[in-house]
Structure 1
Amino acid sequence: MKRAGFLILILLSLFMLQPVAQAQELPAYDRDTVFFTTNRKSVKIPFKLVHNLIVIPVRINSSQPLNFILDSGVKSTLITRLYFADSLDLRDVNKISIRGLGEGHSIEAYQSKGNDLHLPGISGVNNEVFVLMEDVFNLSTRMGMPVHGIIGYNIFKNFIVKINYSNSVITLYRPDQKIKKRRRAEEYPLYIEGTKPYVYGKIRQHNGDTVRVKLVVDTGASNSISLYLPSDERLLLPQKVMKAYLGRGLSGDINGQIGRLEAFSLGKYELQDLTASYPDESSIKLALNVGDRNGNLGSDILSRFTVIFDYPHNRLIMIPNKRFKEPFSYNMAGFEVTTPLPGTNFYIVSNVIEDSPAKLVGLEPGDQLLHVNGRNCSDIMLPELLRLLESKPGRKLRIRLRREAEIVDVDLVLQSRI
């Protein structure tokens, strides 16, 4: 459901670099590499929504179904983690270096060409796939389920893509299909630059200034909105901000600050008192040189709508859903939860934020959560646990931890700092 604050799992606008020179952006609609397998006009694909991120089943060549995040901000299909039983039979493989957002360095990967992709009702040929040699994103441990990779442009460029966040269903339409305009639907120009979709909106800041911003429409970012301060001198930090771990890019951690905007508007629809992320300049130096953009529009906003991406006709259609008026929350505890054994209720403390409630009561990365408010964590699912960390200022959480061989009890009080 909701996900804002420092627990932004990933910012996945990736920039692939060859060892010597930067690879060029793929031209839009260069060739149809993904297509319907029947004569049907549309195909429905159920998905899982975890941390506001869309997880769909994808088979590569002869593999079993793998879990991929559908990310409109990513150019290439990326395999981030394979498990012992996974087999891909990748074709035409060579080793390269790649780099993206983050404060670290480039990492090694395998580039594979000529692969087949299979999703329910659609298939693809001659697809390029990158396989990371190191699982830098740790998506499975952050999402509490096995996640194998990320897919994006190959799906969006070939179809009209309707994402119904309320029903957890994606509908893919043939590009020549006419989409009936529903009541309350609003249409916006969608600018496809290279392989990335951009839209223009307006933000209203704490000083009352309204600024027009150019944003990547990014289903692979679980937060509401990210703003790049160096991109426009009119962009200002809110009066109240907190330091935050914002997520993970290909090249390392993304750190920054979180505050609140008075409003964000897209056409006639306005969302008020929303959280906004402000990444450190060192984390986004590559993004500042690409697309003349001011930031990312993430899924904590997108998931409040039914969203239709229509790349063939350069338009974005959005229809508010039942979540539209929900308040924007964020993690007020000051630590992130990961699951070293994806699919189990085994929780570890990570990324403890300085000056946060978690830091003040002595939580340390690596602590195992045993009980919260008297309940055994083995009986608490990850979404419920995260909702507790976001619930309301002043709420007390009685937490029992295991720190190596020691049992530690702490009382943590949620605190709103923005």
Structure 2
Amino acid sequence: MKIIIEHLMSASRKIIRECPLQLVFCLSLILPGQTTAAIRIPFRYVQNFIVLDLKLEHVLPLKMIFDTGAEHHLLFDKKHTDLISNAYLREVRVMGSDLQQEIPALLTTSLDLGLTDRQHRNAQFVVLLEQIGSVSEMLGEQIDGILSASIFADNVFEINYKHHYIQIYEGLPSPKKLLGFGRCSLQIYKNKPFVNSNLTIARGTDPVALNLLIDTGAGISVLLYKSTQSTLSLPDSLIPGKLGSGLGGLLNGFLARTEKLDFCNTSFDKVITSFQEINTEYSERESRFKQGLIGNQVLEKYTLMLDYMHSTLYWKQSTPDRTIRTDRSGMTLVAGGYEFNQFTVAHILPGSPADRMGITTGDRILSVNRWPAGWLNLRQIQRRLSRTGDQKVRLRISHEGHKKTLVLSLKDVI
């Protein structure tokens, strides 16, 4: 024991001599029982999306959505890469989120991407030749692109929704770190994680086995694909609506509440589920492996660890609250203007409170509960429109060139 202690003290003195300014960090490297060194990357959680603030080639700031559902890293505009000499390799085409529209793009060389001040990785980007503004409009701030989670495919990485960080591990996390985590198998297909799931459409019906993508690039709860080859039965009560924003614009589909979702030995009841019809050869081929996705409105209830190399998902419930907060007005709003503080109605759900009050697509929101809309951001407005209980919201709108004041009585629209 004395020899061991003397050895540790000798090693400690050596470390103190070599890095006196980083004593605490250096000593932590030799203490027994420590977890493997990890890198922590903070994120902002905006409109149910994980947004990272990064730097391209050390100087160009980027705001990117962290997306486990993306095969490639994507930039929506070439304004950044045009500033870099010899940045492009060749032209390519990418498939839009509707699985129908192909979009022209350029593939870059390997570029330096700063994840933190000290952590950099090389990444190739697909750069769209046609500008995509709908993602920024849906989030209410400038978004420059999508960072595929495949950049961490050689590491175990943790997504902590509660404390807003991604942690990258060099090696496996310690058994102590994994205490309280459940575990299940993943299938990794095209750099994307899939999990076996069961969905019960309605009470009294048999659950349907589905292979669903764990998709942090989706700001919804669950989306299912309905193809001509699918045997999936749709719920009796469907509402036509906008499923969200993707490459190519807002996605059309149908919405309904389904009875129960089971995956990884955990479950959700009465989940608002989106149904997207797909009918192209490419989408039919993809649907044989991927029948839908689980998005952030469900995933945010957990802390997740993904291990692509061992095809494993670790999960731990981070909140006892299973309530998924959703809009109760029936309006889909987008943000425009230089500072994204001009708010326009992009879609109205039939029969919703907004529909009954005569609000239509194209109307502008001027104030909310007497607060000028320009003083608010999109997230603040949508929080007011998703309050639970017996709530009323006073809106001032511009409708066909005329200003009107309305009072919406919020209610569950699905």
**TM category, shorter:** 0.7 to 0.9
Q: Kindly state the Cα deviation for residue 69 of structure 1 after the two structures are TM-superposed.
A: 0.5
Q: Sort the Cα spacing of 1:140 and 1:124 in 2 relative to 1 into closer, same or farther, 3 A.
A: same
- Supply the distance in 1 between the matched residues of 2:175 and 2:76 (Cα, whole angstroms): 35
**Residue 192 (str. 1) matches residue 202 (str. 2):** no
CA–CA distance in 1 between the matches of 2:350 and 2:129? 31
Aligned length: 377
Supply the AA of the counterpart residue of 2:226.
Answer: L
Choose the corresponding residue for 1:210, options 187, 202, 207: 207
Report the Cα distance in structure 2 between the residues aligned to 1:298 and 1:257, rounded to whole angstroms. 16
State the match for 1:78 in structure 2: 74
Q: Show the counterpart of 1:9.
A: none
Which residue does 2:160 correspond to in 1?
A: 164
Preserved contact between residue 334 and residue 353 of structure 1 (Cα < 8 Å): yes
Partner of 2:266 in structure 1?
269
What is the TM-score of this pair, normalised by structure 2? 0.82
- Is the 8 Å Cα contact of residues 104 and 253 (structure 1) preserved in structure 2? no
- Which amino acid counterpart does residue 43 of structure 2 have in structure 1? F
CA distance in 1, matches of 2:304, 2:113: 24
Q: Equivalent residue of 1:329, what SS?
A: coil
Q: Do 1:248 and 1:254's aligned partners in 2 also have CA atoms closer than 8 Å?
A: yes
Provide the C-alpha distance between the structure 2 equivalents of 1:342 and 1:189, rounded to a whole number of angstroms.
45
- Which of 331, 348, 351 is matched with 1:352 structurally? 348
Q: Greater share of helix residues, 1 or 2?
A: 2
SS at match of 2:324: coil
CA RMSD for the aligned pairs?
A: 2.8
**Structure 1: which 4+ aligned runs deviate by more than 4 Å?**
82-90, 176-179, 231-234
Partners of 1:137 and 1:285 in 2: CA distance: 27
How many Å separate the matches in 2 of 1:288 and 1:392? 39
1:12-65 deviation digits (Å, cap 9, x = unpaired): xxxxxxxxxxxxxxxxxxxxxxxxxxx982100110001221111222224422
Code of the aligned partner of 1:294:
Q
Partner of 1:26: none
- Counterpart for residue 67 of structure 1: 63
**CA drift at 1:103:** 7.2
Task: Give 1:326 deviation, angstroms.
Answer: 3.0
- The reply on whether 1:58 has 2:45 as its aligned counterpart is no
Q: Which runs of 5+ in 1 are unaligned?
A: 1-38
CA contact (8 A) 2:330 2:354 kept: yes
1:376 to 372, 387, 392: 372
| Letter of the 1:248 counterpart | S
Structure-2 residue corresponding to 1:31: none
The structure whose Rg is larger is 2
Query: After superposition, what is the alpha-carbon deviation per residue over 1:226-285, rounded to whole angstroms, capped at 9, x for unaligned?
Result: 112338755322233211111233345421111112221223322212111111234x76
- Measured against aligned partners, the alpha-carbon deviations of 1:56-107 in whole angstroms (never above 9, x if no partner) come to 1222224422111000010111001466999455613433332223276322
Q: Offset of 1:216 from its aligned partner?
A: 0.8
Alpha-carbon separation, structure 2, partners of 1:303 and 1:286: 30
1:298 CA displacement: 0.8
Q: Distance in 1 between matches of 2:341 and 2:44?
A: 18
Q: Distance in 2 between matches of 1:285 and 1:335?
A: 33
Q: What corresponds to 1:338 in structure 2?
A: 334
Name the structure 1 match of 2:45.
Answer: 49
User: Following superposition of structure 1 onto structure 2, how do residues 198-237 of structure 1 map, counting pairs within 5 Å?
Assistant: 198-208=194-204, 209-230=206-227, 235-237=232-234
Partner residue of 1:328?
Answer: 324
Which deviates more from structure 2 when the two are superposed, residues 310-319 or residues 264-273?
264-273
Residue 394 (structure 2) aligns with: 398
- For residue 211 of structure 2, give the secondary structure of its aligned residue in structure 1: strand
Secondary structure, counterpart of 1:286 in structure 2: helix
Code of the residue aligned with 1:187 in structure 2: it is R
Check the 8 A contact 1:116/1:123 in 2, yes or no. yes
Question: 1:67 and 1:268 mapped to 2: Cα distance?
Answer: 34
Q: More deviation in 383-392 or 183-192? A: 383-392
Shift of 1:111: 1.8
**Unaligned stretches of 5+ in structure 2?**
1-28, 30-35
Pick one of 136, 141, 145 that aligns with 1:140: 136
CA contact (8 A) 1:72 1:156 kept: no
Deviation of the 1:188 alpha carbon: 0.7
Q: Secondary structure, in 3 states, of the residue corresponding to 2:348?
A: coil
Residue identity in the other structure for 1:68:
M
Between the aligned partners of 1:337 and 1:119, the Cα distance in structure 2 is: 31
How far off its partner does 1:215 sit? 0.5
